[in-house]
């Protein structure tokens, strides 16, 4: 498996779960770090039992579409895999590197891409080559399946999110916090498409004591603070800044509801939103907009409101605020939904089924 995302220790649980299946020997190729704007994610070997790891230096680290690995071909030749799992988009430079190094191995790739857009050269060539070479694709959301078919991909497609959730990390909240003040939580980069201004306008209309806490940083910080001041609720908004992932369960546990009010843009819509699943796993009621995949993630748990509709969001917030039984029911069913569909074990199981399909196809030729 080739995956820069697996520098994150918590995500590695999926590989431990995969390694427990019979007749599987697994090798992870991962960089020593992945650079993002404003931060560097260093490889954190947290869950490493049962599989091999090759930490390879990366060319053009931090460039999503241009990065590749030094020594990947040598690792493939030495390990001689039956399957290469490219946990990256099919148009990226690392996809071309993987195709060229794959030899007789079966190849599968992963995609989140949920908007059909024109791919410029040379990435168009890389994408076409990868789509021809790979006989199976894992798609992180339903729209990605449709986009992939629209690109002409004729291989097998499975709807499997990239990573699940660990219920031992995102623990069930035993007792709800007191309700003298209704605490609303949200998280994400402070950018217009996350819709936090809509959430603030909705909260400002609530006829009871409330507080809004948002985890994240970004260019909208000043605008959100100014909007809160203009709405007369500056003292009720707390921008918590960026927090490490290990701090999030404690934050979820102090919120009465989690809200993801995202707004679709021509070049972006929600591909999954992991924070929604984390909140559900922690037993927190959720409200999401109908942007992208989020409504499929929560199913019939919580509330889905039209994106950009502050009045509908206010209504959903008030229903949860005024009914502890609704909050308890949504919390219980949200946790059950994650345990049934979105744990690391469930995602590993679906991935293993995909591997078995590839090997059966190979043997039947």
In this predicted model, what pLDDT tens digit does every residue of 166-183 receive, in sequence order? 999 999 988 888 889 999
Q: Is 281 exposed, middle or buried (0-12, 13-18, 19+ CB in 10 A)?
A: buried
Beta-carbon contacts of residue 78 (< 8 Å; ≥ 6 apart): none
Q: Which CATH class is domain 4-164+343-364?
A: alpha beta
Residue 365 has pLDDT above 80, yes or no: no
Superfamily classification of domain 182-341: Glycogen Phosphorylase B; (3.40.50.2000)
Beta-carbon contacts of residue 363 (< 8 Å; ≥ 6 apart): none
**Structure confidence at residue 244 (pLDDT):** 85
Q: Are strands 106-111 and 83-86 parallel, antiparallel or unpaired?
A: parallel
Q: pTM for the full model?
A: 0.94
**Structure confidence at residue 364 (pLDDT):** 83
Q: What is the mean pLDDT of the chain?
A: 96
**Structure confidence at residue 353 (pLDDT):** 97
**Structure confidence at residue 65 (pLDDT):** 96
pLDDT: which is higher, 174 or 212:
212
**Structure confidence at residue 174 (pLDDT):** 80
pLDDT tens digits for range 220-276: 999 999 999 999 999 999 999 999 888 999 999 999 999 999 999 999 999 999 999
**Structure confidence at residue 335 (pLDDT):** 97
> Distance of CA 276 to CAs 75, 151, 253, Å?
37, 29, 13
pLDDT tens digits for range 19-44: 999 999 999 999 999 998 778 999 99
Report the greatest alpha carbon distance in the chain.
69
Task: Give the percent of the chain with pLDDT over 90.
Answer: 94
Average pLDDT value for residue range 185-191? 97
Q: Strand, helix or coil at 284?
A: coil
Asked, colleague to colleague, whether 4-164+343-364 and 182-341 share their fold, the answer is yes
Average pLDDT value for residue range 155-173? 95
Would you kindly state where each structural domain of the chain is located, as residue ranges? Answer: 4-164+343-364, 182-341
pLDDT tens digits for range 41-52: 999 999 999 999
Q: Is 175 exposed, middle or buried (0-12, 13-18, 19+ CB in 10 A)?
A: exposed
Average pLDDT value for residue range 310-329? 97
Would the CA dihedral through 297, 300, 301, 306 be positive or negative?
Answer: positive
pLDDT tens digits for range 122-141: 999 999 999 999 999 999 99
**Structure confidence at residue 48 (pLDDT):** 97
Q: Is 189 exposed, middle or buried (0-12, 13-18, 19+ CB in 10 A)?
A: middle
């Amino acid at each position: 498996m080739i995956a820069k995302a697996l520098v994150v220790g918590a995500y590695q649980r999926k590989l431990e779960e995969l390694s427990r299946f019979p007749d599987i020997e697994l090798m992870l190729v991962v960089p020593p770090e992945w650079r993002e704007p404003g931060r560097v994610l260093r490889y954190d070997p947290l869950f490493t039992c049962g599989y091999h790891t090759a930490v390879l230096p990366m060319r053009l680290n931090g460039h999503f579409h241009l990065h590749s690995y030094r020594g990947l071909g040598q690792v493939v030749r030495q390990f001689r895999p039956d399957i290469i799992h490219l946990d990256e988009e099919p148009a990226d430079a690392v996809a071309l590197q993987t195709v060229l190094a794959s030899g007789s191995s079966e190849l599968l790739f992963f995609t989140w891409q949920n908007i059909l857009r024109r791919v410029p050269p040379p990435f168009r060539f890389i994408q076409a080559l990868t789509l021809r070479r790979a006989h199976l694709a894992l798609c992180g959301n339903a729209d990605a399946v449709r986009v992939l078919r629209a690109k002409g991909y004729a291989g097998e497609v499975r709807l499997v999110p990239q990573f699940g959730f660990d219920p031992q990390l995102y623990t069930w909240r035993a007792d709800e916090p007191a309700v003298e003040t209704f605490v609303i939580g949200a998280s994400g980069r402070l950018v217009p498409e996350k819709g936090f201004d809509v959430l603030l306008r909705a909260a400002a209309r609530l006829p009871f004591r409330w507080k809004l806490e948002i985890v994240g940083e970004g260019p909208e910080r000043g605008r959100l603070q100014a909007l809160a001041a203009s709405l007369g609720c500056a003292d009720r908004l707390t921008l918590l800044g960026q927090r490490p992932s290990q701090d999030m369960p404690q934050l979820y546990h102090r919120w009465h509801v989690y809200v993801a009010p995202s707004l679709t843009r021509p070049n972006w819509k929600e591909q999954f939103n992991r924070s929604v699943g984390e909140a559900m796993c922690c037993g927190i009621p959720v409200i999401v907009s109908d942007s992208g995949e989020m409504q499929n993630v929560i199913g019939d748990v919580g509330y889905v409101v039209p994106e950009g509709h502050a009045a509908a969001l206010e209504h959903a917030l008030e229903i949860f605020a005024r009914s502890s039984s609704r909050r308890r029911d949504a919390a219980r069913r949200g946790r059950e939904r994650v345990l049934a569909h979105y744990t690391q074990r469930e995602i590993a199981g679906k991935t293993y089924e995909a591997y078995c399909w590839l090997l059966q196809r190979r043997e039947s030729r």
